[in-house]
Structure 1
Amino acid sequence: MQARNPCSILPRRLQIVFSLAALVVFCIFFFGTPSSYDLPSVEKIQDTVQHIPKPKLPQLRAPNVYNPFRTATHEPPVQANSTSGEAKWFSDWKWRNPFSSSITLDENRAVLPPLRKRPPIYTFYDTTTKKDEETKKGEQRLLLIWRRAWWAQGFKPMVLGRSEAMNHPLYQKLQQLKLEPAMEVEVARWLAWGNMGTGILANWLTLPMAPYEDALLKFLRRGEYPHLTRYEGLRSGLFCGEKIAINGALKKALEATDIKNGLSMIDATPQETFKVDPQHNSVAFYSLDTIISKYKAVAEALTASQAHGLEATAQLINAHLQTTWQSTFSSGIAVLKPLPEHTTHLVAPAVEIARNLSQCPESPIPSSCPPNRPKCKPCVSSHPMTLTTPQVFRNTSTLFTIGTVPHPYTLTSLHHTRDTLDVRFVRRETERDVWLTTATKELLGTGLAGPSRLVAFKDAVASEWGTAHALWLTAERESHADLDWLFGFSVPRHAADDGKSETPVPGPERRPPPPKPESPVPSAPELAREKDLLDKARSALKNQARPMTMLKAAVEGWSLADAEAWRFARAFSARRRVERLKWEEEERAFAGAEGRGAGTGWGRWFDRGRR
């Protein structure tokens, strides 16, 4: 019978350990310990080293390239238009870095993504024809609606006029042809477009009626148009192309023998001049033929009175823009409320915005649909959009989120119902980054620290997807006057607390009720206490006294991620507003600009034009 190895009864790992131990014992037994070797003393080694000549190497002043992600030694230069009030920002591709101060070396300057380039979209408004003041006012409103809608979709809308057409070298040839008025205006708007160059030309009754991610809108936002393209069924409603192709088509049209018989540039140019794209479901063209065939009430208003008809047309288009936006978010609107116990007043502005967005707009034909979406689902007052107040942020494409980011001081005061704070209480009695952790716990789980959560939060705020699916406010800003430009339509207003109202005031039958609370409803005294704490926190943050600034810095230092989220949301909102106001200031002298009075459009003839 074969002898059995006594080690075989042990697990394999223990067998390896015993084998290594036996090998070590065997080596020590036969070769001795290291102490038995005749090693040189320390003194001998020092004497030997002293007699070795040291090489003379040149001193190289090379930059420190061992760490390519090292912190800069100087603050980056301040960029133009990078401040608004107390909000400061720095545009850089490293905006996803969790903490902006590691790049800017400034605790109060947030790093934002570079501004996306807005491709120009042009329209032509001829002010040379005589019109009454009410008609001018109606056309100005339609131009403003056109500008808002395209701006919200990521474009740079510009209204052109005769001065741009007159700058084109071929304008003199147009005057020599003596065309019919309609055709003359058509060629003039192409000359104005050709003078400006590459871009998109649209009728000011052509508007985007689709989600931000629509394929055609994404192509147009790219700003590269390899072919001079028109869209089947829109006639002269929409074109895009490069400057060379635009001017080439103009030259062909002005040299054509039958140009006087045409009604548009399409009729005056050879068929191969344009690439015809049949896909245009994302834009709606409210031409006169479309209004007569689809919107009888508006057509009748236009027949009765040009001014009243234009007003009805503007109301109809604005309603269609809002219902299109509502249909994009079939899951409704979520008002983020991470810590619901004492933040009812904190999210109250967000709730009001959500109610305004979800209500049915005023329209001359409430049950109508945009011409490009004949099977839409009109807004019905009895079944408004769903409003919820979840404690967590959900990354859902069919859900629009409105978040209110509080400063750590504001949140700590409300959450712990304290009028005043001190460093001892903050360090010993409060948790770090409680707002950001609670808001992202469903999206990221509970095991991640604040820096990892900041990356996801910044994506939700400033990425291209995030800007189209969420609106982030700060608890300390009480005015939100630029919402119309963010959504692309005139958001309905509600009666203010002081009794004053902003038109249009919706009727009670169209205004949806507040969302159902998902947490215990605070009592009236608790709500009054909460409002008082919120007002005191806002006042404290505005206090520039040294003790308060030191306390605020201590609170921010304790909740670094929450403070970074607040600064980032504040800076992103401020920069977006600065970008629009700067563009509005540049366009203020042109037709359709916000704030221009009725009847000022005639002055467009005397504008300097765009060189």
Structure 2
Amino acid sequence: MPVQRSILGKPLPPMPPKRIAVLLSTIAVFAIFTLVFTLPNSIPAGPSLGRFTDHKIPIPKLPKTLSPSILNPFRQAAHAPPVQKNSTSGEASWYSNWNWMSPFSSSVTLDENRSLLPPLIDRPPIYAYYDYTLQKGKSHKEAENAVLVTWRRAWWAQGFKPIILSPAEAMNNPLYAELQVLEVEPLLKTEISRWLAWENMGTGMLCHYLLLPMGSHEDPLLAFLRRGEYPRLTRFDRLGSGLFAGSKADITAAVKEALSNKALNESTDFITAVSPETFEIEPKNGVLAYYDTRTVKEKYSKVADEIEADGPRGLMVLNKLTVSHLHTTWQNTFSKGIAVIKPQPEHMTTAILPARKLAEFLIQCPSSPLPSSCPPNNPKCNPCISSHPLQITYPSVYRNTSDLYTIGTVPHPFTTALMSSSLNSESELTIPWIRRKSKRDPWLTTITAELLGTGVSGAPRVVKFKDVVASQYGTSHSLWTTAERDMPEDLDWYFGFTIPRNATDKGESETPVPGPERKPQVSSGPRNSPESAPTDEEVAMTKEKSLLKSAVEFGKARKPDEEKVRKAIEAWNLADTEAWRFARAFLERNRVERLKWEEEERKYAGGKAGAERGKNEGWGRWFDDR
């Protein structure tokens, strides 16, 4: 039964719930107005009531100085991390930190133009001994220098720090005086001096400059050697004195044992001068190629004959052979070819032109005195055949495939917007157009579509892109440059071998297989004469070149109004901007690291051993038509 309500004993008529709610609301409003307008007037004049309370309720205030981070502008300002040494190059600047996988660098660096990069990985030292003081002809020294450059490039590309030692390091060893009083053969004395120089430096690897790494970057042996920790003094089976690895204590013990050997003069090399228990022998060394005298005579007799006939010229032929084997090994590693990323095919043909040319150079058959030969560590390799070169593809997405090499060109969001608006008949690149018509982060969204799908925001896409660019796996399987700058000049060090620079050669060298395919196929397609009308593709390319040039010039000097447009584009495309800055900074840091190392090494070994000569020749014509 419903409840019967009453007042003063008299029953009230029933009232609907809606009316009760209205009544209660009216009473509440009346009570509030009564308190506001009547209570202050009823308090007598006198001391303030505030003196009867001991506490105050503080009113929160916004900080006077806000954080410069666009991601959290209300965060209190904080000091930016200190500037590290060698952390700038041109307009690129970076900060190395373990938190480098943060989506946006400014959250850590507090600087929009400062990229957050992974800490530099320590490169374990690998030493080669070379006596530059010996009297040799100019041609002989030039040939040996070319071999040393090849040795340095190959090991640098695999993550090591190749250092050339000389008699100066051996003489700096306190044990050198003991060697001088011993009567030993000159060759054995040189071998012991080599070990004294190594012992003077400490833990690391001692390598002959004719031993090169030829295999995948992920090979277990190379991964072990890159860790730089060697529990036992180790030599490698069937490589003789080509490579040793050990700690400082083990090296010192071995040198002292050799110098105290009473039958030292009867030894043929350092290995026989110590007891067999001194070394641990590593049988799995299939990634190492040693071009010693015995190997060259057995496998490459033509080269051995060249060396015997003319030492300097034969050494240059041998160096040419090793470079071709390094290139062939790289091509075998990436058997599925090269992917040149082209996410916006309708207006990015010109921007990826340097990447396409680099890919064309990499698929060429390397010039070799023995085209059908294989490295000594891999006799069953697949020599390059011009009739079946590696394939170059132009996907719009990045594919994580271990045997596919990727070359990516990252455009600045302004470059993307400029080309997109101009090629879509937009009259002017304005802020309203950016906000209303342009897509947000189009470049990064496109290349990561296959990996992450279409329903993912920009932050996880940036994290994935950074992993692709800067992880150990990513650096050995891809190269990422920016669209507004030329291709780096030191790519030989990035790949570990001399890249062919013959722009007219499309990999059509003679094949080692006899038959009608020995001669290169000549294209029979007609070429446009100067009088013929340009095609639609040529017109588009011409317009793209002009737009890309405008984007490059715009990036160098900007007026205040233009600066507003650029800032608006960067704010609208945070993920694309972060990717562009990250790729630019990472590539520049690699270059700065190598140049700093070269500058330090120039002080030693006479300043010339292993130094490049004419290294910039032949690269300028890459970009003549861009």
Q: Which residue of 1 aligns with 2:595?
A: 581
Q: Which residue of 2 aligns with 1:595?
A: 612
Q: Which residue of 1 aligns with 2:586?
A: 572
Displacement of 1:128 after TM fit? 3.2
Note if 1:158 corresponds to 2:151: no
Q: Aligned to 2:235, what secondary structure does the other structure show? A: strand
Q: Which residue of 1 aligns with 2:411?
A: 406
Displacement of 1:55 after TM fit? 8.4
Does the CA-based 8 Å contact 1:384-1:512 persist in structure 2?
no
Does the CA-based 8 Å contact 2:149-2:610 persist in structure 1?
yes
Alpha-carbon distance between aligned partners in 1 of 2:211 and 2:132, rounded to the nearest angstrom: 19
CA-to-aligned-CA distance 1:437-490 (integer Å, 9 cap, x gap): 011000110010111100000000001110011000100111420100000000
Q: Which residue of 1 aligns with 2:66?
A: none
Note if 1:467 corresponds to 2:484: no
Does the CA-based 8 Å contact 1:392-1:438 persist in structure 2?
yes
Note closer, same or farther for the CA distance 1:216–1:450 as it changes in structure 2 (3 Å cut): same
Note if 1:453 corresponds to 2:461: yes
Aligned-pair RMSD on alpha carbons? 2.9
Note closer, same or farther for the CA distance 1:52–1:274 as it changes in structure 2 (3 Å cut): farther
- In the TM superposition, 1:87-126 aligns within 5 A as 87-126=92-131
Does the CA-based 8 Å contact 2:334-2:404 persist in structure 1?
yes
- In the TM superposition, 1:115-154 aligns within 5 A as 115-154=120-159
Q: Which residue of 1 aligns with 2:547?
A: 533
Q: Which residue of 1 aligns with 2:561?
A: 547
Displacement of 1:512 after TM fit? 11
**Alignment-mate amino acid for residue 594 of structure 1:** A
Q: How many percent identity over aligned positions?
A: 52
**Alignment-mate amino acid for residue 358 of structure 1:** I
Question: Which of 67, 71, 79 pairs up with 1:74?
Answer: 79
Q: Which residue of 2 aligns with 1:609?
A: none
Note closer, same or farther for the CA distance 1:481–1:176 as it changes in structure 2 (3 Å cut): same
Note if 1:243 corresponds to 2:248: yes
Displacement of 1:592 after TM fit? 3.0
Q: Which residue of 2 aligns with 1:20?
A: none
Alpha-carbon distance between aligned partners in 1 of 2:53 and 2:414, rounded to the nearest angstrom: 64
Alpha-carbon distance between aligned partners in 2 of 1:333 and 1:512, rounded to the nearest angstrom: 22
Alpha-carbon distance between aligned partners in 2 of 1:145 and 1:512, rounded to the nearest angstrom: 32
Does the CA-based 8 Å contact 1:392-1:439 persist in structure 2?
yes
Does the CA-based 8 Å contact 1:72-1:103 persist in structure 2?
no
Alpha-carbon distance between aligned partners in 1 of 2:481 and 2:564, rounded to the nearest angstrom: 25
Question: Which of 478, 484, 497 pairs up with 1:489?
Answer: 497
Question: Which of 305, 310, 317 pairs up with 2:322?
Answer: 317
Note if 1:184 corresponds to 2:189: yes
**Alignment-mate amino acid for residue 153 of structure 1:** Q
Note if 1:298 corresponds to 2:303: yes
Note closer, same or farther for the CA distance 1:359–1:148 as it changes in structure 2 (3 Å cut): same
Q: Which residue of 1 aligns with 2:367?
A: 362
Q: Which residue of 1 aligns with 2:517?
A: none
| Greater RCO (CA < 8 Å, at least 6 residues apart) | 1
Alpha-carbon distance between aligned partners in 1 of 2:386 and 2:191, rounded to the nearest angstrom: 42
Q: Which residue of 2 aligns with 1:557?
A: 571
CA-to-aligned-CA distance 1:281-335 (integer Å, 9 cap, x gap): 1111100100000001110110110011110011000000011111111111000
Displacement of 1:491 after TM fit? 0.6
Alpha-carbon distance between aligned partners in 2 of 1:513 and 1:215, rounded to the nearest angstrom: 43
**Alignment-mate amino acid for residue 283 of structure 1:** L
Note if 1:388 corresponds to 2:393: yes
Q: Aligned to 2:346, what secondary structure does the other structure show? A: helix
Alpha-carbon distance between aligned partners in 1 of 2:303 and 2:315, rounded to the nearest angstrom: 8
Q: Aligned to 2:181, what secondary structure does the other structure show? A: helix
Note closer, same or farther for the CA distance 1:167–1:82 as it changes in structure 2 (3 Å cut): same
Alpha-carbon distance between aligned partners in 2 of 1:378 and 1:72, rounded to the nearest angstrom: 60
Note if 1:341 corresponds to 2:346: yes
Q: Aligned to 2:611, what secondary structure does the other structure show? A: coil
Alpha-carbon distance between aligned partners in 1 of 2:398 and 2:391, rounded to the nearest angstrom: 16
Displacement of 1:52 after TM fit? 10
Alpha-carbon distance between aligned partners in 1 of 2:76 and 2:299, rounded to the nearest angstrom: 62
Q: Which residue of 2 aligns with 1:438?
A: 446
Note closer, same or farther for the CA distance 1:402–1:370 as it changes in structure 2 (3 Å cut): same
**Alignment-mate amino acid for residue 183 of structure 2:** K
Alpha-carbon distance between aligned partners in 1 of 2:591 and 2:94, rounded to the nearest angstrom: 13
Note closer, same or farther for the CA distance 1:540–1:343 as it changes in structure 2 (3 Å cut): same
Note closer, same or farther for the CA distance 1:597–1:245 as it changes in structure 2 (3 Å cut): farther
Q: Which residue of 2 aligns with 1:206?
A: 211
**Alignment-mate amino acid for residue 484 of structure 1:** D
Deviates most, 401-410 or 533-542: 533-542
Whichever of the two has the greater Rg, that structure is 2
CA-to-aligned-CA distance 1:332-390 (integer Å, 9 cap, x gap): 10000001011111111000001111111000001101111111111111111111000
Q: Aligned to 1:184, what secondary structure does the other structure show? A: helix
**Alignment-mate amino acid for residue 427 of structure 1:** R
Note if 1:422 corresponds to 2:438: no
Alpha-carbon distance between aligned partners in 2 of 1:328 and 1:351, rounded to the nearest angstrom: 20
Displacement of 1:196 after TM fit? 0.2
Note closer, same or farther for the CA distance 1:352–1:597 as it changes in structure 2 (3 Å cut): closer
What is the aligned residue count? 538
CA-to-aligned-CA distance 1:495-516 (integer Å, 9 cap, x gap): 49xxxxxxxx7775479999xx
Displacement of 1:425 after TM fit? 1.6
Does the CA-based 8 Å contact 1:141-1:592 persist in structure 2?
no
Alpha-carbon distance between aligned partners in 2 of 1:311 and 1:431, rounded to the nearest angstrom: 55
Displacement of 1:51 after TM fit? 12
Note closer, same or farther for the CA distance 1:512–1:51 as it changes in structure 2 (3 Å cut): farther
Note closer, same or farther for the CA distance 1:513–1:174 as it changes in structure 2 (3 Å cut): farther
**TM-score by structure 2 length?**
0.81
Note closer, same or farther for the CA distance 1:490–1:419 as it changes in structure 2 (3 Å cut): farther
- In the TM superposition, 1:2-17 aligns within 5 A as none
Alpha-carbon distance between aligned partners in 1 of 2:613 and 2:508, rounded to the nearest angstrom: 31
Alpha-carbon distance between aligned partners in 2 of 1:487 and 1:476, rounded to the nearest angstrom: 22
Does the CA-based 8 Å contact 2:386-2:508 persist in structure 1?
no
CA-to-aligned-CA distance 1:85-107 (integer Å, 9 cap, x gap): 00111111111111111111111
Does the CA-based 8 Å contact 1:71-1:103 persist in structure 2?
no
**Alignment-mate amino acid for residue 463 of structure 2:** V
Question: Which of 485, 488, 500 pairs up with 1:480?
Answer: 488
Alpha-carbon distance between aligned partners in 2 of 1:109 and 1:88, rounded to the nearest angstrom: 5
Consecutive unaligned residues in structure 1, runs of 5 or more: 1-27, 29-34, 36-40, 44-48, 57-68, 497-504, 515-520, 599-611
Alpha-carbon distance between aligned partners in 2 of 1:425 and 1:326, rounded to the nearest angstrom: 45
Deviates most, 182-191 or 170-179: 170-179
Alpha-carbon distance between aligned partners in 2 of 1:228 and 1:509, rounded to the nearest angstrom: 45
**TM-score by structure 1 length?**
0.83
- In the TM superposition, 1:31-50 aligns within 5 A as none
Does the CA-based 8 Å contact 1:341-1:522 persist in structure 2?
no
Alpha-carbon distance between aligned partners in 1 of 2:472 and 2:522, rounded to the nearest angstrom: 31
CA-to-aligned-CA distance 1:157-184 (integer Å, 9 cap, x gap): 0000000000111101111113111101
Does the CA-based 8 Å contact 1:584-1:593 persist in structure 2?
no
Alpha-carbon distance between aligned partners in 2 of 1:477 and 1:171, rounded to the nearest angstrom: 51
Note closer, same or farther for the CA distance 1:348–1:243 as it changes in structure 2 (3 Å cut): same
Q: Aligned to 1:466, what secondary structure does the other structure show? A: helix
